[in-house]
Amino acid sequence: MELLLLLFVLESLLKNGLGNNMDIQKLLHDHRIPIAPPGDSNYHEGWANVRCPHCNDHSTHLGFNLQSGYANCWRCGHHFLDKTIAKLLNISLHKAKELLKEYGETPVYKAKEVKRAPRTKAHTLPSDTRELTKRHRRYLEGRGFDPDKIASEWGVLGTGPVSSLDGISYKHRILAPIWWDGQQISWQTRDITGKAKAKYMACPKNRELVEHQTVLYGRQESWTETGICVEGITDVWRLGPQAFATFGIDYTHQQLRHIVRNFKRVILIFDQEPQAQAQARKLRAELEIRGREVVQIDLKKDPADLTEKQAKNLIKKIF
């Protein structure tokens, strides 16, 4: 099983998972722009490298990513594709845009923008919230988690049989506080009975200090230049402090900005459902366009369903 997991990681590192219809190589070839060939010191698989028109480049440091179509110079950084083509071919910006359309311009994905709801009530927890009971602990143990570790490292609590807030029932749930910039701004709960209509339920929006879908779940103080992006809070618990979650597959523009500000390299591990994988590809495209290095890993299972040993091996492989 451990060998299969590592093989999945290696396979994912070699895959080109985005897929688009832009032929940047043909565009460069048709306009007689020399591309660094295999064996050249600046040749990189998955890239078309040419002389950068933005800096005093005497080599081929400007790379066009063949999957996402964005441009990045290893000397002077990220550049907009249309402006780069205009400068490289010495044509107008308008003509460059028309040319990109002709060769199949890469679609630009737009993340949704969350409008902050006014906070009209005090931030608080549901009634009957307590330390983890035997029932909560059995649920966590059944999913392969150490309840004491989860409680101490993530501040996780439990709700009882009559837990409610603002007329909403939160009974029989795990409650995870959400922290951002040093303060608790919200919380999210997870049903432990398997009978609730909604597995996950969050704090009412009018009680959140900050809308939870505009931030990332995780430990900001533990993040480094490389971050592991997952969907949910249990995925973060499994992979540890290097991971962060977007509270589902529908990431927001605000979350995208936080990812770009905090990480230079992002490892994307979303669940296996087709919709989740499609969202992962969109997020990958948006991050790459902003000059971030992204690797999309296919685990064949949800991160939270890994064993502790599998998770440790995965983290070791990533870093």
Cβ distance 175 to 203 under 8 Å?
Answer: no
- Which CATH number fits the domain 117-210, given the four candidates 3.40.640.10, 3.90.980.10, 3.40.50.970, 3.30.310.50? 3.90.980.10
Class assignment of domain 22-102?
alpha beta
Please state which of the ranges 84-98, 173-187, 203-217, 286-300 shows the lowest mean pLDDT: 286-300
Angle between helices 253-262 and 274-289 (to 10 degrees): 60
Q: pLDDT confidence of 260, banded at 50, 70, 90?
A: very high
DSSP reduced 3-state for 44: coil
CATH 3.90.580 residue spans of the chain? 22-102
pLDDT in tens, 102-147: 888 655 555 666 777 678 899 999 999 999 999 999 999 999 999 9
CATH 3.40.1360.10 residue spans of the chain? 1-20+214-319
User: Residues near 157 by Cβ (< 8 Å), separated by ≥ 6?
Assistant: 125, 129, 130, 131, 132, 151, 174, 175, 177
pLDDT in tens, 78-102: 777 888 999 999 999 999 988 888 8
State how far the Cα of 110 lies from the Cα of 195, in Å rounded to an integer: 35
The single residue listed with the structure tokens 């949704």 is 112
DSSP reduced 3-state for 189: strand
Please state which of the ranges 159-163, 201-205, 276-280 shows the lowest mean pLDDT: 276-280
Please state which of the ranges 16-25, 137-146, 254-263 shows the lowest mean pLDDT: 16-25
Q: pLDDT confidence of 12, banded at 50, 70, 90?
A: very low
pLDDT in tens, 194-241: 999 999 999 999 999 999 999 999 999 999 999 999 999 999 999 999
> Which residue did the predictor score with more confidence, 9 or 112?
112
**pTM of the prediction?**
0.71
State how far the Cα of 71 lies from the Cα of 96, in Å rounded to an integer: 14
- Residues 257-275, mean pLDDT to the nearest whole number: 93
Q: Is the pLDDT of residue 151 over 70?
A: yes
The per-residue pLDDT for 21 is 56
Quick one: how far is CA 60 from the chain centroid?
A: 30
Maximum separation of any 2 CA atoms in the chain, in Å: 72
Q: Which of 59, 66, 26, 77 is nearest to 44 (CA)?
A: 66
The per-residue pLDDT for 299 is 87
> Which residue did the predictor score with more confidence, 13 or 292?
292
* Residue 127 token pair: 């009634």
Q: Which of 305, 245, 280 is nearest to 12 (CA)?
A: 280
Q: Which of 196, 178, 194 is nearest to 138 (CA)?
A: 194
Class assignment of domain 1-20+214-319?
alpha beta
CATH 3.90.980.10 residue spans of the chain? 117-210
